[in-house]
């Protein structure tokens, strides 16, 4: 990583959510570890990086499902397929590997490359009931993906019609890059179908994220709002919420993004050149958010 490398402000639905939860958390996540690769010997920045990479059991379970499904699509591109059992095995193998990396401390070398669970880091009890539930979720999600008629359109989409598969991309908005990683996008006739795989329960934030993907589709492929179909597939619960979007909704969405961006733009600075003004990143998550925050072990403002 060279010296001309700079920290640019960017936005994504999850980053916006993070800032709304606690601006100080956003500071830890975006600025406090900046330059860790130049730190000799490893010190504070590396420690922040390690905390930044912590993931919860629930989020890690979701990641394993996402990766297994991505593999399913890659095989499909080559004309092969995986049964529900095989997809579950793929997801379970990832889970086992991540669990071993997390408990065995393999993340110490490079925390970006290995799973490290919040629960392990903070010595929280991970009961058999909780891990059993995670396994059950992997299984239910795998089988729902391969077997449910509700996902037939996605499974049957010909590879020539695929527009995106878990690919990180962005579009410009108010001078910053807005990042979007739709799980799967394909074209069907005049319509563009955007899929989001969810392993958790339905939340309001899911709608928000899918609307960002709709804006992304407009920028990336010039899709008209009336041609966009959004699908939140709740694989663990076995349901799919499909909907259309209106121009009004997307306009409102743009206003929401601008409102979310404003305080982030106000606080943004170049950590290589400038001192931080922490008053721009108030610890407003306290006390509600602290008990679940991945930075609670290093944040002096944590209220536990």
Note the residues at the interface with ligand SF4 (CB under 6 A): 22, 24-25, 28, 283, 285-286, 289-290, 293, 295-296, 299, 301-302
Gyration radius of the chain's alpha carbons: 20
214: CB partners within 8 A, 6+ apart: 194, 225, 228, 230, 245, 250, 253
Minimum CB separation of residue 116 from ligand SF4 in Å reads 17
Q: How far, in Å, are 20, 111, 254, 276 from residue 16 at the CA level?
A: 6, 23, 13, 20
In angstroms, the CA 55 to CA 35 distance is 22
Cβ nearer to ligand SF4, comparing 28 with 88? 28
Minimum CB separation of residue 53 from ligand SF4 in Å reads 15
190: CB partners within 8 A, 6+ apart: 227
Cβ nearer to ligand SF4, comparing 24 with 220? 24
Cβ nearer to ligand SF4, comparing 214 with 293? 293
Minimum CB separation of residue 103 from ligand SF4 in Å reads 24
Q: How far, in Å, are 86, 124, 165, 198, 201 from residue 137 at the CA level?
A: 15, 20, 22, 11, 11
Cβ nearer to ligand SF4, comparing 258 with 278? 278
Minimum CB separation of residue 240 from ligand SF4 in Å reads 33
Cβ nearer to ligand SF4, comparing 178 with 264? 264
Which SS3 state, helix, strand or coil, does residue 120 take? helix
Cβ nearer to ligand SF4, comparing 136 with 276? 276
Pairing of strands 169-173, 191-198: unpaired
Minimum CB separation of residue 155 from ligand SF4 in Å reads 40
Minimum CB separation of residue 256 from ligand SF4 in Å reads 22
Cβ nearer to ligand SF4, comparing 98 with 285? 285
In angstroms, the CA 257 to CA 176 distance is 11
Minimum CB separation of residue 50 from ligand SF4 in Å reads 15
Q: Which helix (H) or strand (E) element contains residue 300?
A: none
Pairing of strands 191-198, 228-234: parallel
In angstroms, the CA 190 to CA 98 distance is 41
**DSSP, res 281:** S
């Amino acid at each position: 990583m060279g010296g001309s490398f700079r920290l640019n402000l960017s936005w994504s639905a999850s980053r916006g959510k993070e800032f709304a939860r606690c601006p100080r958390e956003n500071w830890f996540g975006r600025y406090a570890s900046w330059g860790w690769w130049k730190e000799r010997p490893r010190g504070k920045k590396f420690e922040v990086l390690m905390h930044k990479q912590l993931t919860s059991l629930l989020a890690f379970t979701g990641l394993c499902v996402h990766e297994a499904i991505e593999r399913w699509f890659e095989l499909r591109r080559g004309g092969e397929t995986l049964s529900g059992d095989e997809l579950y095995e793929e997801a379970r193998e990832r889970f086992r590997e991540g669990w071993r990396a997390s408990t065995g401390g393999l993340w110490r070398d490079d925390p970006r490359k290995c799973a490290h669970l919040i629960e392990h880091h903070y010595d929280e009890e991970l009961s058999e009931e909780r891990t059993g539930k995670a396994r059950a979720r992997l299984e239910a999600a795998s089988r729902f993906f391969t077997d449910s008629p509700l996902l037939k359109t996605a499974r049957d989409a010909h590879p020539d019609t695929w527009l995106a598969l878990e690919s990180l991309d962005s579009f410009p908005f108010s001078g910053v890059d807005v990042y979007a990683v739709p799980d799967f996008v394909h074209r069907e006739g005049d319509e563009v179908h955007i899929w989001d795989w969810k392993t958790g329960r339905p939340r309001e934030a899911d709608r928000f994220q899918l609307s960002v993907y709709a804006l992304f589709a407009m920028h990336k492929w010039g899709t008209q709002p009336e041609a966009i179909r959004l699908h939140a597939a709740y694989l663990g619960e076995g349901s799919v919420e499909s909907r259309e979007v209106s121009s009004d909704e997307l306009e409102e969405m743009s206003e929401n993004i601008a409102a979310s961006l404003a305080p982030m733009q106000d606080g943004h600075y170049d950590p290589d050149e400038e001192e931080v003004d922490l008053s721009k990143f108030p610890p407003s998550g306290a006390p509600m958010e602290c008990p679940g925050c991945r930075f609670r072990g290093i944040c002096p403002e944590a209220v536990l």
